[in-house]
Amino acid sequence: MPYSYDPQNIFAKILRGEIPNKTVLETPHSLAFHDIAPQAPVHVLVIPKGPYVTYDHFANEASAEEIVDYTRAIGEVCKMLGVTPGAGDGGYRLIANSGDAGVQEVPHLHVHILGGRVIGRMVSRSA
C-alpha cells in the first residue's frame, strides 16, 4: 500500500511555522530541532522538509538532492552537538522509529539523535 502523508501532523505544522520549535539547523531540504521531551542530555530530531512518512518512504521516493541534504544535515548536527566519536566525543544513537512495530508517534520522517550519556541497550527485550 502506498504511503499517505497526513499534512496535519505536528512536524508538518512546525515546517509551516504554525507552532514553534527550537531550531538547531535549517538547510534547503531539512530541519533539525530539539525534542520537546528530551530523553537524554542531547536529544535532537532531524526531519526532511518533504512529505515523507518513514525512512524507507524517503529512501525510495526522495530526490538525490533531498537525500544528500538530509544525510549531510544529520552529519552537521552531530558535529554541532559535539557527539561525533571521530572528534573524540562521546558518541550518540540515531533512531528512526517507523510504523506500528517501530512505535512511531509522529507520521513524518524524523531521526532522533541521542547522546550526552550512555544510551543503553539498542532495544528492550520486550515491548
Pick the closest to residue 102 from 36, 50, 49, 56 (CA basis).
56
**Host H or E run for residue 37:** none
Site string for ligand AMP, 3-42 (x = CB under 6 A): -------x--------x-x-------------xxx-----
Q: Give min distance, CB of 104 to ligand AMP, in A.
A: 4
The span of 57-65, 81-89, 103-111, 114-122 binding ligand AMP (CB under 6 A) equals 103-111
Look up residue 44 and give its three cell numbers: 535532537
Q: Binding ligand AMP by CB under 6 A: which of 3, 104, 116, 119?
A: 104
- Are β-strands 42-48 and 92-95 bridged in parallel, bridged antiparallel, or unpaired? unpaired
Query: Does residue 106 bind ligand AMP (CB under 6 A)?
Result: yes
Classified as helix, coil or strand, 71 is helix
Please give the Cα distance from 10 to 39 (Å, whole number). 19
Q: In the complex, which residues of this chain contact ligand AMP (CB under 6 A)? A: 10, 19, 21, 35-37, 45, 97, 103-106
